Amino acid sequence: MTTYISSNLGYPRIGKDREWKKALESYWRNEITEDELKTETKQLRLANLKKQQDLNIDLIPVGDFSFYDHVLDTAFSFGLIPKRFQELDEKSIDTYFAIARGTKEAVAAEMTKWFNTNYHYIVPELNDVTPRLIENRALTYYNEAKAELGINGKPVLVGPVTFVKLSKGYRDTNFEAIVESFLPLYEQVLEELVDAGADWIQIDEPILGTNLSEKEIALIAKVYQQLTASVPHAKIILQTYFETVQHYDEVVKLPVAAIGLDFVHGEHLHAIKKWGFPKDKILAAGIINGRNVWRSDLDDKLALINEIQSITNAETMIIQPSCSLLHVPVTKKTERKIDQVILDGLSFADEKLAEINVLVKGVNQGETTIEHELTESRIARVKLAESPYRQNHQVAKELAQIGDEEVKRSLPFSDRITLQQDQLKLPLLPTTTIGSLPQTSEVKGTRTKWRKGEISDQEYNKFIESETKKWIEIQEELSIDVLVHGEFERTDMVEFFGEKLNGFAVTEFGWVQSYGSRCVKPPLIVGDVSWAGPMTVKEIVYAQSLTDKPVKGMLTGPVTILNWSFVHEELPRFTIQDQIGLALEKEVIALEAEGVNIIQVDEPALREGLPLDQLKWPAYFDAATRAFRISTSSVKPSTQIHTHMCYSEFSEIFEVIDALDADVISIETSRSHGELIDTFEVNDYDKEIGLGVYDIHSPRVPSVEEIKANIDRALRTIDVKQFWINPDCGLKTRGQEETVAALRNMIEAAKKVREEAGAKVNG
């Protein structure tokens, strides 16, 4: 008879009221001391562990907590301090934060997406740094959980192959040697954990879901053979997630005690049927979706567990989420305003752990012991499926009428750009910002008062207009060429549209970590998506009335709205993406009808949603291109379409970006120190482009010389007539003083480059 054990892979750090965020930001503002920061976060960390203990989770993760990012934690523990920070104390938390956020003297480390999620990690820099163990963080948190709560936790480590793969600053030919240089450190960490009493140790290797070479797979085998030989008493769970392990038959043979597989997003049931599963290993089965918020079909999950068991005939099986619960909100218990039908269909982190507990009880003690929970789950799911949210058949009819010709601009770019230049009359190297401007405490506080009914709609609208007017005047004073209205009415670039489109719902407290202390509240796509009426027209038209310069219409694109929402699972994702594209098309046309001549449709998440398996990329890219073009292709040739992308590996998606057929693209490149510019040396790009000339994710103000150097570097490759000058992302999270100072320097740098470039062009 099989024994089933419950487990969790990671728990949200932020707290149900974002206590973690508040403590971090208070420390950064010098409002609390380092000791106070550590005391507050310890209380939160222990509360999170106690909650999992109370939910009867057998294997509770420890070491999943972070002050900023778990990849940065790993780098910092191994003494990987970038050269520009090495004068600082290598053990100081301020040095740790300096790497993540930068200082006045040094730029922050690069930040990019954690696989295909909206979580960002800090990219470790391995340049000329010898790794050494500074602190065994996992041991620290293991001992804390044991001493404070009597929990024999499951330490969580980022695996050595994934860690080095996600790092920068080395040649591919040195990859194996660099991985091997970390093994003595991992051996020491494992030995110390075993000596302390850790029964299980989770080593995360999500890189196994990507297209690794045979040589890399051989290296992984070598790594785990060495770790097992060096620390034979370590019971390692080699944990994978997000997608199918590409070399399944080889990975399951690795000399570890357990293998963790994602049965939600991966095709591992098929793999087990084909290749089997070793009798000498425990299968840690990711049964509950750790990346979405919908209640599980418990009947279906029980059937899956039973099928896996029948194939493997396992004596012991671990039941767990598909990945860390870092990617979902903490609990739905605090939601008070959402439709009960939707609320009953939701499952956040705490509810997912409760579902795991129910499943484990059902398979260990019999389904009759969980009949109440099964009935409750069935009723909730049926009510949501039969609700009006999922009965808008008109949308399907409209999508069926869209053919290939309907998703093409009426003229090619070479003809459009002439019409646009005649209409807009912009200077050489036009300057702009990405969209959002600082949302001060006054802006956020006023919005909160309005939402609570403490001020009227009229008072709130008047305040938004006053902020818009103030920033239009600031932008004109700075001599920016293409202005933005600032988005002061928007809580978030996706949630805002979720509040205005049919088929969406929004939560009050459904926060998840995006990067650092930045938390976002993804809306819920609960049903068929359609346009309910103008969403942005009033604010853009008002801003345009205040200036003779062009003001961009600002929309979030269909791919990003989809990827940054929690999407229901009753329709294919690409169908829902097209529904969003169709709704946005109507908003684009409404803006154009009001005389808005530049419309930006942002797609920062275009690359983020890429499947880890590259064989699935063409279908994804085709769908993304189609949805974007549904949104934008109906405009007049003289209307200029912009888009913006963050943290994309530009070289990998160059052809797709070209296929979007946007007139102007802006792309983040500042933290990667211009590396993305190299793409243009081997590719021809005939449209216009802005590469972010300074990093907005750091509070530091770059100098004129620094910005000019970034511009000059780009212009060595990109034609001056194609280039736009802009920050690398929106300015929502920055303060007014630093924003104005940085933009002033950007404009000054642009003037200097424009003078030099103009002389060359005229000469």
> Is 19 assigned to a binding site?
yes
Residues forming a β-bridge with 321: 288
> Is 250 assigned to a binding site?
no
- State whether residue 709 is helix, strand or coil: helix
Mean pLDDT to the nearest integer, 731-740: 91
Q: What is the reported pLDDT for 600?
A: 97
Q: Which of 92-96, 667-671, 756-760 has the highest mean pLDDT?
A: 92-96
Mean pLDDT to the nearest integer, 270-285: 95
Over the stretch 342-359, which tens digit does the pLDDT of each residue have?
999 999 999 999 999 999
For 360-429, give the secondary structure using H, E and C.
HHHHHHCHHHHHHHHHHHHHHHHHHHCCHHHCCHHHHHHHHCCCCHHHCCCCCHHHHHHHHHHHHCCCCC
> Is 518 assigned to a binding site?
yes
Cβ distance 322 to 241 under 8 Å? yes
Over the stretch 381-431, which tens digit does the pLDDT of each residue have?
999 999 999 999 899 999 999 987 779 999 999 999 999 999 999 999 999
What is the Rg, in whole angstroms, of the alpha carbon atoms belonging to the chain? 26
Q: Please tell me the least confidently modeled range out of 143-152, 451-460, 661-670.
A: 661-670
> Which of residues 685 and 289 earns the better pLDDT score?
289
Mean pLDDT to the nearest integer, 202-226: 97
Place of tokens 């060359």: 760
Mean pLDDT to the nearest integer, 303-314: 94
Q: What is the reported pLDDT for 219?
A: 97
How far apart, in Å, do the first and last CA atoms of the chain sit? 85
Is 642 marked active-site? no
Mean pLDDT to the nearest integer, 44-50: 97
Q: What is the reported pLDDT for 648?
A: 52
Q: Is the pLDDT of residue 653 over 70?
A: yes
Q: Is the pLDDT of residue 673 over 50?
A: no
Mean pLDDT to the nearest integer, 728-733: 88
> Is 594 assigned to a binding site?
no
Mean pLDDT to the nearest integer, 287-293: 97
Cβ distance 321 to 352 under 8 Å? yes
> Is 568 assigned to a binding site?
no
Rounded Cα–Cα distance for residues 271 and 244 (Å): 9
Mean pLDDT to the nearest integer, 445-463: 93
> Is 35 assigned to a binding site?
no
What is the pLDDT of the chain when averaged over all its residues?
Answer: 93
Q: What is the reported pLDDT for 679?
A: 67
> Is 215 assigned to a binding site?
no
Q: What is the reported pLDDT for 541?
A: 97
Q: What is the reported pLDDT for 763?
A: 45
> Which of residues 114 and 646 earns the better pLDDT score?
114
Domain span(s) for CATH 3.20.20.210 in the chain: 3-67+110-387, 415-500+535-762
Cβ distance 253 to 286 under 8 Å? no
Q: What is the reported pLDDT for 616?
A: 93
Positive or negative, the CA dihedral 65, 70, 72, 73 is: positive
Q: Pick the catalytic residue: 247, 327, 642, 697?
A: 697
Q: What is the reported pLDDT for 699?
A: 79
In this prediction the pTM is: 0.90
Q: What are the φ and ψ backbone dihedral angles of 598, each rounded to 5 degrees?
A: -125, 125
**Which residue in 172, 191, 156, 192 sits closest to 71, CA to CA?**
156
Q: Is the pLDDT of residue 201 over 50?
A: yes
> Is 34 assigned to a binding site?
no
Over the stretch 589-636, which tens digit does the pLDDT of each residue have?
999 999 999 999 999 888 888 899 999 999 999 999 999 999 999 999
> Is 63 assigned to a binding site?
no
CATH code that applies to domain 3-67+110-387? 3.20.20.210
Count, residues in the chain: 763
Rounded Cα–Cα distance for residues 723 and 689 (Å): 5
> Is 84 assigned to a binding site?
no
> Is 355 assigned to a binding site?
no
Q: What is the DSSP string of 282-331?
A: EEEEEEE-SS--BPP-HHHHHHHHHHHHHHH--SEEEEEESS-GGGS-S-
Q: What is the reported pLDDT for 670?
A: 52
> Is 113 assigned to a binding site?
yes
Q: Is the pLDDT of residue 647 over 80?
A: no
Q: What is the reported pLDDT for 607?
A: 82
Over the stretch 239-263, which tens digit does the pLDDT of each residue have?
999 999 999 999 999 999 999 999 9
**pLDDT tier at 669 (50, 70, 90 boundaries)?**
low
Residue type, 639: T
Q: Is the pLDDT of residue 651 over 80?
A: no
> Is 135 assigned to a binding site?
no
Q: Is the pLDDT of residue 265 over 50?
A: yes
Mean pLDDT to the nearest integer, 458-484: 96
Q: What is the reported pLDDT for 605?
A: 87
> Which of residues 644 and 761 earns the better pLDDT score?
644
Q: What is the reported pLDDT for 681?
A: 65
Expressed in percent and rounded to 5, the helix, strand and coil fractions of the chain are: 45, 15, 40
**Which residue in 27, 111, 19 sits closest to 65, CA to CA?**
19
Over the stretch 322-339, which tens digit does the pLDDT of each residue have?
999 999 999 999 999 999
CATH code that applies to domain 415-500+535-762? 3.20.20.210
Rounded Cα–Cα distance for residues 128 and 554 (Å): 43
Q: What is the reported pLDDT for 649?
A: 62
